[in-house]
Chains A and B, each alone.
Chain A
Amino acid sequence: MGALVECVAVTKAYDPTRPTVLALAGVDLSVQAGEMVAVMGPSGCGKSTLLHLLGGLDIPTTGRVVMGGQRIDTLSEARRAVLRRREVGYVFQFFNLIANLSVADNVELPMLLAGCRPDEASRRRGELLERLGVDRFADRPPGDLSGGQQQRVALARALANRPALLLADEPTGNLDSAATTEVLGLLSDYHVAGQTIVLVTHDPRVGAAGDRLVTMEDGLVRADEHRNILARGA
């Protein structure tokens, strides 16, 4: 199976006046379709930066990022945006739902952006929210929901366009234990159904949920362990 997304010799410097201070110091990582990759490491090791580069939210200083055989680090911002709409879903630690849109609007927005008809978007939104157990909040503002409920809505939004790649940045970092278990269960369900997921976490419990664990330190990949592969029959 070919790589769904791949980083090759990627470095990232945020401050152009200090090009030697690197958030990523030369990372190679290849994610196969259907994998669930957990990225762990201490704060500031470059986990989130790597996630942003994988989804085309940012571009590397050097090196290249290839998605589905296409280099995405050389695309314009607009082209990357169009690519993200179809191919990538993001889930964040702080949910990042748009406060002045209702739950329903938050989930429908990416679908409408991708050219989906309003009635179709509305139908799919209904299905997604129902499956994630938050359909009764459709017309409420996100601020009314608990953390776990907001993260389910964020997950619904990330999955709205059936993306090839789901990227999750500390998806349980802001949740209590029960909500963490719930969200992790949902992610595993989608993974089992074939969804490719890359998630960044501090939490060993979450890290253990992946079938591959990448450990980072000082902007470099220190370890890359494949687990449960045989168990999943891949």
Chain B
Amino acid sequence: MRRALWRAVRGDVAHRKGSSLLLLLVVAVAAAGITAGLGQQRDAAERWDAAFAEANGAHVAVFGSPDALRAVAAEPAVAESSGPGRITLVSLGQQDGRRTDDVDARAAGPVRPAVGRPKLFGGRWLSGRDGEVVVERSLALDLGVEPGDRVTLDGQPFTVAGVALDLLDCFYPECDSATVWVPDQAMAALDPAGQGSLLLVRLHDPSAVGAFERDIQARYGTGVSHVLDWQDTRGDALVVNQFFAAFLASFGVFLLLAAGLVVLSSVSGRVLARYRELGMLKAVGFTPRSLTLLVLGENLTVALAGAVLGAVAGGFLAPLLQLRVAEVLERGGATFPAGVLLTAVAVVLVIVAAATLLPAWRAGRVPASRAIARGAGPVSTRPSRLARLAVRLHLGPPVAVGLKDATARRLRAGLAVATLAVTVVAVVVTLRFDRTVDALAANPALVGDPYDVAVDPGTVPPAEVEAALAAQPVASWFTATSRRGAVGDATFQVRALGGDMAAAGFAVQQGRMPANDGEAVAGYGLLHRLGLSVGDRLPLEVSGGRLDPRIVGWYSESEDSGEIVQLPLGALRRVEPGAGAGGYFARLRPGADPAAVKAALDRVWGGRAAVEVSGGLPDAFGAFRLAFYVITGLVLVVGLLNLVASTLLGIRERMRDIGILKTVGFTPRQLAGSVATGAGATALAAVLVGVPVGLLAGRVMVDGVGTGSGLGPGWGSSPAGLAVVAAGVALVALGAGLGALASWRAARARVVEVLRAE
């Protein structure tokens, strides 16, 4: 029996090349999507953690005076430390003068530090000779700098000895300033005063960073100017990735759903098409169980081949979708992690098996004598209301027949509509996502950066900064300085705002900006984490004192996943009377060029203050978008292939009817028109179902991502109505066109042969 079964499987797969090929393609597309998606999900977080472990990464980076940092290094909570070493902001120029960027020059010796040990990605570490530097990898990738290149630091020439990875902060340009390691002796020339130092520490208890930070800031006062902890850095580095993973996971579901529906309809169709043959197989001795196995076996054979092909293709696709984090952490190239490949193949096979089970079971229950005598059971002959309507509207018999045929097999028609509707949902969600990214790009306030130009005053006194800003086309400005605050063991960023706070332009989604020193506005992430809502009080410790502001609103913020509270500078000065204003953030008047303003301010201050133009959206969104287009494209291909397949199947089943239609006078063009009408109607139904579901799903997804990333719900944009309508019309036209193409053979079939074939 087994041999007979195998022979039947082989024969059928080879005989039905077209439908086998379609199943293979659909399964391959699904497997490719899953492999690429899974690879992506696994990537960034795992790679970051691996890189952190390999580097013996610092749990806390402490900036401050050398004396204070030496004392911090001796704290009992500290397990291991590197430094303190000198650090200062310098201007890095490329040899051809193309670009200059502010970077952190960090002193280093010929031996790489034990804590936060930079991993070399090219060239070598500092040799101890003068005139060499090592450039941080994300900066080197962005600038296109390689070992052997010449750069300048504050005008002094250096040779790039190597490129190395640093995990102190998230990657340039999302976070700056990036690091350049400079030999100790050169550092003395770059920073004669030697005020700033950096200490990298590992704690006995890495989860206790919050308490440690609070403790040293309280005890060392101004000796510790600033701290970065590994949890925040990891979160910042991976925030875009989290967006991506959430969206990708949802899209993976679309892809799987579409593939499952396609397999279900294609296998059901194959069983119907072979109905008489299945009866014959029973007549020659196949049992119901062996027939079920036969159908399962032949579909799983084809699916296995498709899944393996697709998984390999997905391995090649993954690097194209790679986000910047993964790109910085590891060299690109096709990856074929066995676990991911096996998972993808297994998931696809399970879906195919699940979708095949019902039709396979039905195949086993085919009544032999009836099947042999009459073939597949009768289709619905109830007059189709649509077809009747078409006749009433004088749309002509081809339209009426097309509509009737498209709905003749209700289950198949339903599956075809459902599959295509999944495609429509994916397209609508992509359109929404696209608009949302455009909105983010057009309005940086949505990610918590409501400014065009930022000024780190350095040694320039506030009055001078404000006077210089007043001379520029500045609409308004505010100042911000950050501290670590805590509620219980939870620590977070406390940002004290000065200047024109009301006009700052933060994207306040509920409530308002603080109007007095007793009020605060929180990022959504903080409210979410602490379980608070607008109107509650936030009793927090900051700068060694206690504040109890009332939260009067929440706003969208991507930094620290939105775990930030903003309050007036006056409130901070209640507990820290000498608190400075910090950085200046200016919004320009409409039409003003931020680059020109930066150039003008640089001329005024001659490098004493660092001026930066708002970076806009992270580059990562570019890769993000590409990934969406690719996945939506795949879902679209699957949906349309299924439409073609079910149309072809319908044509094959109705070859005889088509012959009769020709006999009574249908022209080839009318036949093509009839099939095109059916396919177009299927696409139209899918659009009518898919658009509302897509709008809803897009909203839920974007809100979900917003809640997870700190932006909060309600920040996404609706897709442009025109784009949705255009996509719908295009899909219907495409469906009708594909239907007409699929009918090509039928339209040209020779009536005599078709009618004789029975």
Contact = CB atoms under 8 A, between A and B. Distances in A.
B378 interface: yes
A102 B752 CA distance: 24
Of A98, A100, A112, A141, the most chain B CB neighbours within 10 A belong to A100
Contacts of A99: 378-379, 381, 657
Interface string B22-66: 000000000000000000000000000000000000000000000
Of B397, B665, B667, most A-chain CB atoms within 10 Å: B665
Interface in A77-125: 77-78, 81-82, 84-86, 90, 92, 94, 96-102, 105, 109-110, 112-114, 118
B313 interface: no
Contact of B383 (A82, A96, A109, A139): A139
Nearest to A81: B667
Nearest to A95: B660
Interface stretch (B78-86, B274-282, B401-409, B461-469): B401-409
A202 interface: no
B652 to A, nearest CB: 14
Interface stretch (B388-396, B565-573, B682-690): B388-396
A109 B670 CA distance: 13
Contact of A58 (B392, B661, B750): B750
Contact of A84 (B392, B657, B664): B664
Interface in A156-178: 157
A113 B397 contact: yes
Contacts of B662: 57, 81
Given A57-B752, A78-B669, A96 B663 contact: yes
B669 A109 contact: no
Given A52-B752, A141-B378, A98 B665 contact: no
A44 interface: no
Interface centre among B380, B381, B400, B662, by most chain A C-beta atoms within 10 angstroms, is B381
B669 A57 contact: no
A114 B534 CA distance: 73
A183 B209 CA distance: 97
A98 B383 contact: no
A109 B397 contact: yes
A143 interface: yes
B751 A100 contact: no
B666 interface: yes
A57 B751 contact: yes
A184 B668 CA distance: 34
Contacts of A141: 378, 381
A141 B654 CA distance: 16
A77 B381 contact: no
Given A81-B665, A84-B663, A101 B394 contact: no
Contacts of B750: 58
A97 B755 CA distance: 11
Given A100-B379, A112-B400, A143-B378, A78 B668 contact: yes
Contacts of A139: 383
Contacts of B664: 84-85, 90, 109-110, 113, 157
Contact of B381 (A57, A100, A109): A100
A97 B657 CA distance: 8
B663 A90 contact: yes
A105 B665 contact: no
A92 B755 contact: yes
A102 B383 contact: yes
A109 B663 contact: no
B96 interface: no
B378 A110 contact: no
Of residues A48, A112, A113, which shows the largest number of chain B Cβ atoms within 10 Å of its Cβ?
A: A113
Nearest to B379: A100
A120 to B, nearest CB: 12
A46 B195 CA distance: 108
Interface string A47-70: 011001000011000000000000
B657 A94 contact: no
B748 to A, nearest CB: 8
B376 to A, nearest CB: 10
A165 to B, nearest CB: 13
B30 to A, nearest CB: 32
B663 A100 contact: no
Contacts of B142: none
A143 B657 CA distance: 14
A113 B400 contact: no
Contacts of B667: 77-78, 81-82
Contacts of B758: 94
Contacts of A84: 663-665
B397 A118 contact: no
A90 B751 CA distance: 12
A223 B396 CA distance: 45
A37 to B, nearest CB: 20
Contacts of B383: 102, 105, 139
A100 B409 CA distance: 9
B344 to A, nearest CB: 40
B656 interface: yes
A109 B664 CA distance: 8
B401 A109 contact: yes
Contacts of B404: 100-101, 105
A114 B665 contact: yes
Nearest to A115: B396
A100 B391 CA distance: 16
A113 B660 CA distance: 13
A101 to B, nearest CB: 7
Contact of B752 (A58, A82, A105, A112): A58
A57 B408 CA distance: 27
A23 to B, nearest CB: 10
A110 B398 CA distance: 11
A141 B661 CA distance: 17
A48 B663 CA distance: 14
A57 B663 CA distance: 7
Interface string A128-165: 00000000000111110000000000000100000000
Residue picked from B379, B380, B394, B660, most chain A C-beta under 10 Å: B660
Nearest to A157: B664
Nearest to A111: B397
Chain A CB within 10 Å, residue with most, of B378, B668, B752: B752
Nearest to B666: A81
B657 A100 contact: yes
A81 B663 CA distance: 7
A82 B660 contact: no
A105 B405 CA distance: 13
Interface string B638-660: 00000000000000001011011
Contacts of B392: 118
A78 B671 CA distance: 11
A83 to B, nearest CB: 8
Contacts of B381: 99-102, 140-143
Interface in B109-135: none
21 contacts: A78-B667, A81-B662, A81-B670, A84-B664, A90-B664, A99-B379, A99-B381, A100-B379, A100-B380, A100-B381, A101-B401, A101-B404, A109-B397, A109-B401, A109-B661, A112-B396, A112-B400, A113-B666, A118-B394, A139-B383, A142-B381
Q: Which 5 A-B pairs have the closest CB atoms?
A: A85-B665, A141-B381, A78-B667, A110-B664, A100-B408
Given A84-B664, A96-B663, A110-B665, 11 more contacts: A52-B751, A52-B752, A78-B668, A78-B669, A81-B666, A81-B668, A86-B665, A100-B380, A141-B378, A141-B381, A143-B381
